[in-house]
C-alpha cells in the first residue's frame, strides 16, 4: 500500500535495555503508517537531558526503579490481584528485558509513501519528530503530521534539530512575552540555549542562568543580554538590578529533577503577576505564599505544542483548524525550520559533537559534557534482507500443522500467549510494526525470521497464524489468512462490524483454514469445573457477572476508536462469550450505558437464552480498585456458584460450601487446546458458529444501547 520500496529490508537501530546496555542491532526496516512516510535517516540529534535521564533510569536497581515510578508499581499490584503474581511477574520481566528505542528528532530522505499521503513524494527531504517514531535508526516510519518538509538552504544536520527546537519554541509561546520584555532562562542546556535564541529572535531581552560557566559563554553567543552563575552571584539581586527593581516578566525553567529551590528562585525573580514556565521534567514544589502574593501564573510547556499526545492528530492525521489552534506541533516544526533558513537559529554554537552512527553507543557515557550531538548515517543505502529462505510449509490437511507465524508483538502477546507456544511448535516469522520489538521477540522465543510487513506470511498457502495486532486489523488479516487456507488464532474481538463478520462468514464457507478466537475465559480451569457442575443441574440458570474495568487512560490506544472499536466491542465481547459458553444460545439482549456518551465504556446488558436462562453483564469504568476486577455468580436449582477473578471458585450445594483455588485465567489452556488441534490430536476447540454467536450478541448489545430497545440476536 505504498510506493517505491516494497521488499523487506533490514537496518541498524539503537536499542536500550533496562539494565543500561546500549546496542546497535540489526532489525527489520519499518513500513509507512497509514497516511505516513518511510524515511531513510541521514542525521538525528541526541537530546542530552532527556536521553541521559532514560539511560540513568535504565541503570537503576529494581528498588530504585520502583521508587522512581510508583505508578508502575501500582499497576503491577493490580495485575497480581486479577491474574496472580506469576503473571504479574512475567509482565514485569517482559518489560525489563525488552529493548526500547532512543531518539525523537531526525531528518532524512523519503523513500516510500503510503498511498493515503498527499503531501510528500519519494525523494523529498524531511525533518521528523516523535519519541514513538523518530528513532536513532537508519530507517524511520513517520505519520504525516510528525514530519515537515526541509526548505532549501537548510542542511539535513540542521533540520535534525527541528523537534528539539520546537520544544523550546513552544516554551517561548507559553511565556506569552512580547517585544522588549525581559525573560530569565534558568538552565542553559540544549533546550534552554535554543529558548534563549528564540526569545532573542522575537525581540525579547534574555538573562541566561546556569551553574556551568562554559554554557554561559554559549548563552551570550545565542543572544543572552546577561548571564549569571548562581554559585558566584546572587541571582535575585542580579535580576532586580537588570530590571530596575521590577523583576522579570517571565522565567523559563529549563531543568530537570525535583524540589523547591529552583522554583523558589524563579518566583523570587518574577515581577508581580509574572509567568513561570516549567519546560523540563521538573517536579516543582511551590512556596505557595510567595507565589500567591505575587499572583504569578505557573504554566507547563508540553513538548512540541498542541497536538502532542493526541493520537487522532499525530497518527490519525486530523489537523486542528488554524483559526482555533494557531500553533500546532506541526506548525511549530515549520516555523522552526524557517528560522533555520533565515539564519536566526544558531545551531553551530550548540553542536558540540558529530558522530558516526556506528560509534554512537560510546557517546552516552559522556553526555554530561555535551550539548547537541549530531549523529551522521553514512550507510544511507538500505540493505536488503538476508537471503535466508523461509521454511517451506507443505500443503496441510485440517489436522497436521507444525509451523506458526505471528503478527503483532505487543506486551500481551509476549506475556500471555507466546510463552505457551515456545518449544511446542516451530515458530517462523514474527511480524511487528517496530523492528526493534520484532527482533527482540525473534531472539527471545526462537522465531526463524523477524519482519515489519506481513506480505511474506500470506504468500504461502496453509499453515498456522496467530494475530495479536490492534483490533481494526483483525478482520482484514483474518480474511487474508483464510484466503491462504491458514489455521488462525486471533485475539478478541474477531472483527469490529457486522459487515466484516459477513465477509468472514463467506470466507469460512470456502476456505480450508479455520478460526480460533482468544476467548480465554471459557478455557479457564474454574470455568471447566463450573460448566461440568451446571450440566448436572436441571432447569434454567441465572448468571450475574460484574466487571470493574477502571477508567480508560486518555492516551491508551483503546481510546482511539478507529483502532479499538471501543471497550464494548473490544472487551465486553469476552463476557458475552462466557455467558454463551455457560448458558447456551442467546435469544435477545437489552443494554444501556451510564449517561449518553458517543462511545460508551460502561454497559449493563440483560440477555435472555433459549432454554429460559438469563444473564446480566455489568461492565463499569467507575468504581474502586479495592474491589475485585471480575466477579460472577450463577444461581441454579439447588446450587449457587461464586467466582472471583477465576482464582477462587465457591460452590454452595446441599447446604455446604466448597472452595477451590486456581491460578489461570485460561490463556495457557486455550493455547494448549489449539496446539492439540494443529497437531491432529483433537477436534477444533472452538467451533466457528460459537465465535459468530458471541460477536452477533456483542453487536446486538451495541444496537440496543443506541436504539433503547431489546434486540433479537
pLDDT digits (tens, 9 = 90+) for 13-45: 999 988 778 999 999 999 999 999 999 999 999
Buried b (16+ CB within 10 A) or exposed e, 629-661: bbbbbbbbeebebbbbbbbebebeeeeeeeeee
pLDDT at 66: 60
**Cell 480451569, residue located:** 525
Pick the CATH number of 403-517 from 3.40.50.720, 3.40.50.150, 2.60.40.1180, 3.10.180.10: 3.40.50.720
State the DSSP string of 114-139.
ETT--S--TT-EEEEE-TTT--SBSE
Between 320 and 367, the more confident residue is 320
Confidence tier at 133 by pLDDT (50, 70, 90): very high
Lowest mean pLDDT among 61-65, 239-243, 501-505: 61-65
Would you state the cell numbers that stand for residue 597, as one nine-digit string? 456518551
pLDDT at 391 over 60: no
Rounded-to-integer distance, Cα 99 and Cα 527, Å: 37
How large is the average pLDDT for residues 35-56?
Answer: 89
Rounded-to-integer distance, Cα 78 and Cα 73, Å: 9
Contacts of 164 (CB under 8 A, 6+ apart): 45, 47, 105, 190, 191, 194, 372
DSSP bridge partners of 619:
547, 603
3-state secondary structure of 464: strand
How large is the average pLDDT for residues 445-467?
Answer: 90
When the pLDDT of each residue in the chain is averaged and rounded to a whole number, the result is 90
pLDDT at 105: 97
Would you state the cell numbers that stand for residue 284, as one nine-digit string? 516543582
pLDDT at 662 over 50: yes
403-517 and 167-300 share a CATH fold: yes
| Alpha helices by DSSP H, 300-409 | 311-314, 329-342, 360-363
Contacts of 495 (CB under 8 A, 6+ apart): 474, 475, 478, 501, 504, 695
pLDDT at 60: 65
Q: How far is CA 266 from the centre of its chain?
A: 35
pLDDT at 379 over 70: no
pLDDT at 483 over 50: yes
The hierarchical CATH code for the domain 2-66+98-160+309-376 is 3.90.180.10
pLDDT in tens, 560-584: 888 999 999 999 999 999 999 999 9
pLDDT at 69 over 90: no
pLDDT at 602 over 80: yes
pLDDT at 67: 63
pTM across the whole model: 0.81
Domain boundaries, the chain: 2-66+98-160+309-376, 167-300, 403-517, 521-712
pLDDT at 3 over 70: no
User: Is it true that domain 521-712 has CATH number 3.40.50.10860?
Assistant: no
pLDDT at 4 over 60: no
pLDDT at 258: 81
Lowest mean pLDDT among 122-131, 195-204, 206-215, 594-603: 594-603
Q: Output the CA angle 146-148-150, nearest 5 degrees.
A: 150
Which class does domain 167-300 fall in? alpha beta
3-state secondary structure of 307: coil
pLDDT in tens, 216-263: 999 999 999 999 999 999 999 999 999 999 999 999 999 988 888 899
pLDDT at 58: 66
Confidence tier at 143 by pLDDT (50, 70, 90): very high
pLDDT at 269 over 60: yes
Rounded-to-integer distance, Cα 170 and Cα 191, Å: 11
- What are residue 619's phi and psi, to 5 degrees? -115, 115
The continuous run of DSSP H or E covering 442 comes out as helix 435-445
Confidence tier at 395 by pLDDT (50, 70, 90): very low
Would you state the cell numbers that stand for residue 197, as one nine-digit string? 535564541
pLDDT at 351: 95
pLDDT at 533: 95
How large is the average pLDDT for residues 157-173?
Answer: 97
How large is the average pLDDT for residues 256-282?
Answer: 90
pLDDT at 98: 82
Using a 10 angstrom Cβ sphere, with 0-12 exposed, 13-18 middle and 19 or more buried, the burial of residue 415 is buried
**Cell 485460561, residue located:** 666
DSSP bridge partners of 2:
114
Q: How far is CA 295 from the centre of its chain?
A: 38
Quick count: other Cβ atoms within 10 Å of Cβ 69?
13
How large is the average pLDDT for residues 551-564?
Answer: 88
pLDDT at 381: 42
Lowest mean pLDDT among 123-127, 594-598, 674-678: 594-598
Please report, for the chain, how many H helices and E strands are present, in that order. Answer: 25, 35
pLDDT at 387: 32
pLDDT at 521: 97
pLDDT at 653: 93
pLDDT at 459: 84
Confidence tier at 402 by pLDDT (50, 70, 90): confident
Quick count: other Cβ atoms within 10 Å of Cβ 285?
13
Confidence tier at 291 by pLDDT (50, 70, 90): confident
pLDDT at 341 over 90: yes
Q: For the chain, give the percent of residues with pLDDT over 70.
A: 94
pLDDT at 638 over 90: yes
pLDDT at 289: 81
**Cell 488464532, residue located:** 489
How large is the average pLDDT for residues 176-204?
Answer: 96
Amino acid at each position: 500500500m505504498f510506493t517505491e520500496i516494497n521488499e523487506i529490508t533490514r537496518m541498524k537501530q539503537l536499542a536500550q535495555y533496562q539494565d543500561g546496555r546500549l546496542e546497535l542491532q540489526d532489525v527489520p526496516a519499518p513500513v509507512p503508517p497509514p497516511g505516513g512516510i518511510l524515511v531513510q535517516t541521514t542525521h538525528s540529534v541526541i537530546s542530552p537531558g532527556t536521553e541521559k535521564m532514560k539511560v540513568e533510569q535504565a541503570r537503576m536497581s529494581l528498588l530504585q526503579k520502583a521508587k522512581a515510578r510508583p505508578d508502575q508499581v501500582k499497576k503491577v499490584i493490580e495485575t497480581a490481584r486479577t491474574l496472580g503474581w506469576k503473571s504479574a511477574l512475567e509482565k514485569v520481566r517482559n518489560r525489563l528485558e525488552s529493548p526500547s528505542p532512543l531518539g525523537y528528532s531526525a531528518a532524512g530522505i523519503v523513500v516510500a509513501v503510503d498511498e493515503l499521503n498527499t503531501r510528500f513524494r519519494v525523494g523529498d527531504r524531511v525533518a521528523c519528530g516523535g519519541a514513538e517514531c523518530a528513532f536513532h535508526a537508519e530507517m524511520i516510519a513517520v505519520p504525516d503530521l510528525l514530519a515537515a518538509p526541509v526548505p532549501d538552504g537548510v542542511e539535513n544536520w540542521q533540520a535534525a534539530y527541528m523537534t528539539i527546537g520546537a520544544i523550546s519554541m513552544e516554551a517561548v509561546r507559553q511565556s506569552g512575552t512580547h517585544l522588549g520584555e525581559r525573560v530569565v532562562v534558568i538552565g542553559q542546556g540544549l533546550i534552554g540555549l535554543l529558548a534563549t535564541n528564540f526569545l532573542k529572535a522575537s525581540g525579547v531581552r534574555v538573562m541566561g542562568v546556569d551553574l556551568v560557566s562554559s554554557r554561559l559563554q554559549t548563552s551570550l553567543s545565542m543572544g543572552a543580554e546577561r548571564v549569571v552563575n548562581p554559585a558566584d552571584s546572587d541571582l535575585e539581586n542580579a535580576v532586580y538590578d537588570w530590571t530596575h527593581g521590577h523583576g522579570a516578566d517571565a522565567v523559563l525553567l529549563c531543568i530537570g529533577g525535583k524540589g523547591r529551590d529552583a522554583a523558589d528562585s524563579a518566583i523570587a525573580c518574577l515581577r508581580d503577576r509574572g509567568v513561570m514556565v516549567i519546560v523540563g521534567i521538573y517536579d516543582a514544589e511551590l512556596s505557595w505564599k510567595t507565589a500567591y502574593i505575587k499572583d504569578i501564573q505557573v504554566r507547563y510547556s508540553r513538548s512540541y505544542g498542541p497536538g502532542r499526545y493526541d493520537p487522532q492528530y499525530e497518527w490519525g492525521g486530523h489537523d486542528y483548524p488554524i483559526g482555533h489552534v494557531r500553533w500546532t506541533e506541526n506548525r511549530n516544526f515549520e516555523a522552526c525550520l524557517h528560522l533555520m533558513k533565515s539564519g536566526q537559529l544558531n545551531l553551530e554554537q550548540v553542536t558540540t559533537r558529530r558522530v558516526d552512527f556506528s560509534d554512537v553507543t560510546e557517546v552516552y557515557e559522556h553526555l554530561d559534557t555535551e550539548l547537541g550531538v549530531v549523529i551522521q548515517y553514512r550507510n544511507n543505502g538500505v540493505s536488503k534482507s538476508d537471503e535466508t529462505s523461509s521454511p517451506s510449509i507443505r500443503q496441510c490437511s485440517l489436522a497436521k500443522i507444525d509451523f506458526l507465524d505471528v503478527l503483532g508483538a505487543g506486551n500481551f502477546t509476549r506475556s500471555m500467549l507466546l510463552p505457551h507456544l515456545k518449544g511446542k511448535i516451530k515458530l517462523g516469522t514474527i511480524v511487528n510494526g517496530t523492528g526493534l520489538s520484532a527482533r527482540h521477540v525473534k531472539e527471545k522465543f526462537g522465531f526463524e525470521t523477524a519482519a515489519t510487513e506481513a506480505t511474506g506470511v500470506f504468500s504461502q498457502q496453509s499453515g498456522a497464524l496467530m494475530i495479536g495486532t490492534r483490533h481494526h486489523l483483525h478482520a482484514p488479516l483474518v480474511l487474508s489468512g483464510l484466503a491462504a487456507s491458514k489455521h488462525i488464532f486471533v485475539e478478541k474481538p474477531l472483527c469490529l462490524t457486522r459487515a466484516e463478520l459477513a465477509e468472514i462468514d463467506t470466507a469460512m464457507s470456502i476456505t480450508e483454514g479455520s478460526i480460533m478466537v482468544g476467548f480465554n475465559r471459557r478455557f479457564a480451569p474454574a470455568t471447566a469445573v463450573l460448566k461440568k457442575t451446571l450440566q448436572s443441574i436441571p432447569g434454567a440458570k441465572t448468571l450475574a457477572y460484574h466487571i470493574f474495568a477502571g477508567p480508560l487512560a486518555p492516551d491508551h490506544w483503546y481510546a482511539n476508536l478507529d483502532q479499538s472499536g471501543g471497550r464494548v466491542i473490544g472487551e465486553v465481547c469476552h463476557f458475552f462469550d462466557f455467558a454463551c459458553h455457560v448458558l447456551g444460545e442467546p435469544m435477545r439482549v437489552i443494554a444501556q450505558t451510564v449517561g449518553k456518551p458517543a462511545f460508551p465504556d460502561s454497559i449493563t446488558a440483560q440477555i435472555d437464552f433459549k432454554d429460559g436462562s438469563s444473564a446480566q453483564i455489568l461492565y463499569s469504568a467507575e468504581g474502586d480498585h479495592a474491589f475485585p476486577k471480575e466477579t460472577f455468580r450463577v444461581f441454579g436449582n439447588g446450587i449457587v456458584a461464586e467466582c472471583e477473578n477465576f482464582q477462587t471458585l465457591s460452590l454452595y450445594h446441599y447446604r455446604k460450601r466448597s472452595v477451590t483455588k486456581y491460578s489461570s485465567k485460561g490463556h495457557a489452556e486455550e493455547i494448549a487446546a489449539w496446539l492439540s488441534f494443529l497437531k491432529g490430536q483433537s477436534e477444533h476447540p472452538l467451533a466457528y458458529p460459537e465465535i459468530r454467536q458471541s460477536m452477533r450478541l456483542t453487536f446486538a448489545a451495541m444496537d440496543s444501547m443506541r436504539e433503547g430497545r431489546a434486540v433479537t440476536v
